[in-house]
Chains A and B, each alone.
Chain A
Amino acid sequence: MNKDLWKKADWSFLILTILLAAIGLGLTISTSQGLVGNLVVKTSIFVAIGLVALILIASIDYNKFSEIEKPLYIGMIFILVLVLIFGVEIYGARNWIYIGPFSVQPSEFSKILFILAFGNFLNRHYENDGSWKSILKALAYAVPPFILILMEPDMGTALVFIAMVFGMLYASTLNKKYITIILVGGLAIVVTWIALHLSIGLPIPLAEYQIQRFTVFLNPYEDGRNGLGAGYNIIQALIAIGSGGLGGKGFLNGTQVNFLPVKESDFIFSVIGEEFGFIGTIAVLIIYFIFLVKALIIAHECLDHYGYVVVMGFISMFLFHIVENIGMNLSLMPITGIPLPFLSAAGSNLIVNFLACGIILNISMQRTKVIF
């Protein structure tokens, strides 16, 4: 069975995945200043683990996941509670659990568990009445993990959850008009609230630095410290990307990115911009675009609704990561610190991305009717 299935897999999607991972691995050499050091080795290990995970999960019939919705959901809640109890606090957030030499970010893994479980939840209500009630029920389903992630706090992943939830809601059979009202209304409330906070000081239940990180991209030089405060990273990223010009400074020749903290993760796009220029950044955008379109086609060719919603969940996840991360590097989006899929050297995220692609791959294997 497996062999037949693999023959039917969308190989171009797999190749795109591997291509992205290879670019990411190459970039770690750049961010290690040409040294084949710890980061390169570590990332190579993660890529290897990721590939094995991809093959393993791609060999599992995705429909099996729909049968274990409850264990998936409970497992997700379990790991998110676990990190709040045993997590290690870094920079004021409790995101990490140490397992041996590796640090694991449970909120990353919760994304996969959530998509698989939530996909089935939506599938269970496939032929629904299109009422407000069913939409609110669906939202209520997403609230517990969302709250737990906010408690860490991991703002970035919480935002990814919002993107995934709405992406999947739109893919579902629920009333699209109501979903749009909730989405637009919610966004309007948040934007108005922040605007009122900035103008008349309406209180926000967040620390001042968090608010500033959220709004400083609008004008990075006005961060209260002439661009040396919260706006510093944005300014340095802009200079790095801009100074790349058309063709970039060349591999390993970036200097500006050295001013950026966590350049290997949050600001990897600035490294690409500086070293490979406009040609490099557009190439990356094109690869991502094809990658997403490929996934979109897989979703559409999927015969059942569960597979369709799951792939759309993953597409939402990837798209949000890409837009938010690149947008942050380009000063179009607030700073949140979520990684760029496959290109950022971020272990947990890398493995989660491979797992997601594995599941998408399995769905692609079953796009034409397969006789069991």
Chain B
Amino acid sequence: MAQKKSAHANIYLYLLLFLAIFSVLASRLFFLQIINGDKYQTQSASNSLRLINLPTKRGDILDANGNLLATSIPIAAITFDTNAKTAEKETTIHNLAILLEPLNYDKNKILEVIDAANKKGIYGNVDIIKIDYAQNQGLEIIGKFYERAKYLPAATVNIIPTRNYPLGPILGNTLGYVGSISQEEYKGNEDKYSLTDIVGKLGIERSLETFNKEGTTLKGLLGTKGTQEVEIDNRGRTVNVKSLDNSSIPGDNVSLTIDVRLQKVLEETLDAQINLSKAASTKAGAGAAIAFNVNTGEILAMSSKPDLNPNDFLDGLSDEEVKYYLENDQSPMLNKVTNVAYPPGSTFKMITALAGLHYSGLTVEYRETCTGIWRNNIKCTGIHGNINLTEALRVSCNTYFQSFSEKAGIENISKTARQFGLGVDTGFTDVNGVIKGFLPTPDNKAIFEKNFKEGMIKKLTEQTSKKIVEINQDNSLTSSSKKEQIEIAEQEKEIEIAKYERYYQENKDWYIHDTNLVSIGQGLNNYSILQLGEFASTLANGGTRYKPTIIKSITSADEKSVFNVKPIVLNKVEMTAEELNIVKEGMRQVVASGTASRIFSGSRVAAAGKTGTAETGRSGDIKEYHGLFVGYAPYDKPEIAVAVVVEYAVNSSNSAAAVARAVFEAYVNLKGN
């Protein structure tokens, strides 16, 4: 069996080989660990440490009396990774059961939750429990979680500060809502945000996301994130929390000038009038209203219908909600107080009156005889006979104001309108997308008509080009018939262009007819309800135009820093008190015995106002009207002014006036309490 040993190779050769190999390994180790040890230690230190952002609490939004309109509930979700290794999962469930014992969770309960999620088809990260960590116990449990993170290898904590709007749709459109940051919003703001942040998307949530004012340390709703160094493992899980570097600073709280009690009355009555109108017209369903403190410019209530409930946007919209918000002709997303222009109708007549009184030497005793039609063209609401200015306002006589406007002149009318904030910047910056409206003048009429013509020609040209392409691609046609059809299309285009050209030539100039239309709030006149409210408020307080504001104050979370919004005067109108009083007397007559008297009869509030029934001016609408009302109360010592529109109102201006009456009465009632 045994063979010669001589066949064995030289053992020393092998020893030498081993020594050589192990020397290479040892010298490499010497190079890595001794010579370059420091370098790798630095790399190692930065490798496992991460600076994490500590979430901050978004500021609350409150009404003038401290009622919560928007708040944040900090929620911590403990999630479980069902794809983790079996050993990790077992350890995690065991330790989670101990951690969550105070909340009556045991192993079986945790397994049930995971099972239920799996049955729903949720794998990977399953939410085990959501904890409100603003509560003492919640904070304690989350704190313990972080301490024991390495014993919970298959679990993670996600902090989800959840926005909540306790009043739901009340003021919803103006409050706006929050949502996940978009790429566009993130770009350029990397220092402030991370890609998983929640930001204000609309309304006050958006405009007060950040706040910059010299002399204050206030920063807006967002707040400042804290930072903390944590040690993480190769899967990005926190294994050790280092000391706190910077604690987070909660966002500032914002108090609004809104009185929720008044707001509710305004919304309820506006809803009621819209619902009545909906029964009569399929186009009805929208409306808007605003109430001002006439002596400060503070907005006491404002509403745009249909409703927007900010809570709907928190978890993403359901299919039904997408349909409601995004595929709805009534555009609930649009703030109809600030971002939509309406023809003012007869509510504009005070401007015409004031222009004539102040600039053209006309008096209240300027008289005109109404026969029911002016210049054989514009019909009046009735046959009013020979009347003066007050009477004309009371009955809203078109003929009278058309006559008046020809004496006053368009320049003076537009000059007056601008002083009341119509067709100019409103100064309102608390929500986004506030419009300027459109005040027609000879200059901008020409521009408007030119733009209109060019827009239509562009559209026509595109349509024709498309048509020609289609003809060319139609293989069923012979080349000669193609040519023929193209020629026809070109000719049709030329005819249409000629039509728009002729229309432009006819309309580019300012005619007396245009002045007549403007004087009664028709034609190209278009203003937001905010502007009409600003106009009514300025008229009511004797000619001081305040900057509208919905923000009363901004307060830091620790209440050490407060910024109070003070009334800002934008301008004073040039009209004298006497001139204003003539118009205001007319407005009082409107409510007492004129066009709004039926609605206001029996009201304990002595108000003044002006109705408006404006042709919608929307394409396809023939003889269809929005109901408008502007007014203030009490008429002798005004405190509150309103502007209301009910689209396609069933009772025209009465629908709007009914809202105004309810708001006035609620205001007086609240004041009395």
* Pair A239/B40 contact, Cβ less than 8 Å: yes
* Pair B86/A241 contact, Cβ less than 8 Å: no
Does A55 belong to the interface (CB within 8 Å)? no
* Pair B11/A330 contact, Cβ less than 8 Å: no
Given the interface pairs A171-B9, A273-B29, A308-B8, the reply to whether A238 lies near B40 with Cβ below 8 Å is: yes
Which residues does chain A contribute within 8 Å of B495, judged by CB atoms?
Answer: none
* Pair A278/B30 contact, Cβ less than 8 Å: yes
* Pair B5/A303 contact, Cβ less than 8 Å: yes
Does A256 belong to the interface (CB within 8 Å)? yes
> How far is the CB of A280 from the nearest CB of chain B, in Å?
9
* Pair A255/B44 contact, Cβ less than 8 Å: yes
Q: Which of A238-287 contact B (CB under 8 A)?
A: 238-246, 255-256, 258-261, 273-274, 277-278, 281-282, 285
Residues 1-36 of chain B, each 1 if its beta carbon lies under 8 Å from chain A, else 0: 111110111010011001101101110111011101
Does B41 belong to the interface (CB within 8 Å)? yes
> How far is the CB of B34 from the nearest CB of chain A, in Å?
6
* Pair A285/B40 contact, Cβ less than 8 Å: no
* Pair B239/A258 contact, Cβ less than 8 Å: yes
Task: Select A327's contact among B11, B25, B40, B86, beta carbons within 8 Å.
Answer: B25
Docked CA distance A293–B16 (Å): 11
Q: A33-41, A76-84, A158-166, A350-358: which lies at the B interface?
A: A33-41
> How far is the CB of A222 from the nearest CB of chain B, in Å?
18
Does B150 belong to the interface (CB within 8 Å)? yes
Which residues does chain B contribute within 8 Å of A213, judged by CB atoms?
Answer: none
> How far is the CB of B435 from the nearest CB of chain A, in Å?
50
Docked CA distance A304–B45 (Å): 56
Residues 84-128 of chain B, each 1 if its beta carbon lies under 8 Å from chain A, else 0: 001100110000000000000000000000000000000000000
Does A182 belong to the interface (CB within 8 Å)? no
Task: Select A289's contact among B7, B22, B91, beta carbons within 8 Å.
Answer: B22
Which residues does chain A contribute within 8 Å of B33, judged by CB atoms?
Answer: 241-242, 244-246, 273, 277-278, 281
Docked CA distance A240–B32 (Å): 10
Number of interface residues of B (CB under 8 A): 45
* Pair A35/B36 contact, Cβ less than 8 Å: no
> How far is the CB of A234 from the nearest CB of chain B, in Å?
12
Docked CA distance A305–B87 (Å): 47
Which residues does chain B contribute within 8 Å of A258, judged by CB atoms?
Answer: 48, 233-234, 239
* Pair A245/B15 contact, Cβ less than 8 Å: no
Which residues does chain B contribute within 8 Å of A33, judged by CB atoms?
Answer: 150, 239
Task: Select A304's contact among B3, B24, B37, B150, beta carbons within 8 Å.
Answer: B3
* Pair B25/A240 contact, Cβ less than 8 Å: no
Q: Which residue of A lies closest to B5 (CB)?
A: A303
Given the interface pairs A242-B41, A258-B234, the reply to whether A296 lies near B47 with Cβ below 8 Å is: no
Which residues does chain A contribute within 8 Å of B26, judged by CB atoms?
Answer: 282, 285
Docked CA distance A330–B40 (Å): 13
* Pair B9/A241 contact, Cβ less than 8 Å: no
Task: Select A305's contact among B3, B21, B44, B233, beta carbons within 8 Å.
Answer: B3
Does A132 belong to the interface (CB within 8 Å)? no
Which residues does chain B contribute within 8 Å of A244, judged by CB atoms?
Answer: 33, 37
Which residues does chain A contribute within 8 Å of B22, judged by CB atoms?
Answer: 285, 288-289
Residues 172-209 of chain A, each 1 if its beta carbon lies under 8 Å from chain B, else 0: 01000000000000000000000000000000000000
Residues 100-112 of chain A, each 1 if its beta carbon lies under 8 Å from chain B, else 0: 0000000000000
Task: Select A245's contact among B4, B21, B37, beta carbons within 8 Å.
Answer: B37
* Pair B37/A242 contact, Cβ less than 8 Å: yes
With a 10 A CB-CB cut-off, give which of B14, B33, B43, B87 has the most chain A CB atoms: B33
Task: Select B231's contact among A126, A255, A273, beta carbons within 8 Å.
Answer: A255
With a 10 A CB-CB cut-off, give which of B18, B30, B90 has the most chain A CB atoms: B18
Does B151 belong to the interface (CB within 8 Å)? yes
Q: Which residue of A lies closest to B18 (CB)?
A: A292
Q: Which of B34-68 contact A (CB under 8 A)?
A: 34, 36-41, 43-45, 47-48
> How far is the CB of B235 from the nearest CB of chain A, in Å?
8
* Pair A242/B32 contact, Cβ less than 8 Å: yes
Which residues does chain B contribute within 8 Å of A256, judged by CB atoms?
Answer: 44, 47-48
* Pair B11/A296 contact, Cβ less than 8 Å: yes
* Pair B8/A299 contact, Cβ less than 8 Å: yes
Given the interface pairs A33-B150, A285-B22, A285-B25, the reply to whether A126 lies near B30 with Cβ below 8 Å is: no
Does A332 belong to the interface (CB within 8 Å)? yes
Which residues does chain A contribute within 8 Å of B25, judged by CB atoms?
Answer: 285, 323, 326-327, 330, 332
Known: A258-B48, A285-B26. 15 other contacts (CB 8 A): A38-B86, A236-B234, A242-B33, A243-B40, A243-B45, A258-B234, A260-B234, A281-B29, A282-B29, A299-B8, A303-B3, A305-B4, A319-B21, A323-B21, A332-B28
Can you name 23 A-B pairs with beta carbons within 8 Å?
Answer: A33-B150, A34-B150, A37-B87, A39-B87, A239-B47, A242-B36, A242-B37, A242-B39, A242-B43, A245-B33, A256-B48, A260-B234, A261-B234, A273-B32, A278-B29, A289-B18, A289-B19, A293-B15, A300-B11, A303-B2, A304-B3, A330-B25, A332-B25
10 nearest interchain CB pairs?
A: A242-B40, A38-B87, A243-B44, A245-B37, A258-B233, A278-B33, A259-B234, A243-B40, A256-B44, A255-B48
Which residues of A are at the interface with B, using a C-beta cutoff of 8 A?
A: 33-35, 37-39, 63, 126, 170-171, 173, 236, 238-246, 255-256, 258-261, 273-274, 277-278, 281-282, 285, 288-289, 292-293, 296-297, 299-300, 303-305, 308, 319, 323, 326-327, 330, 332
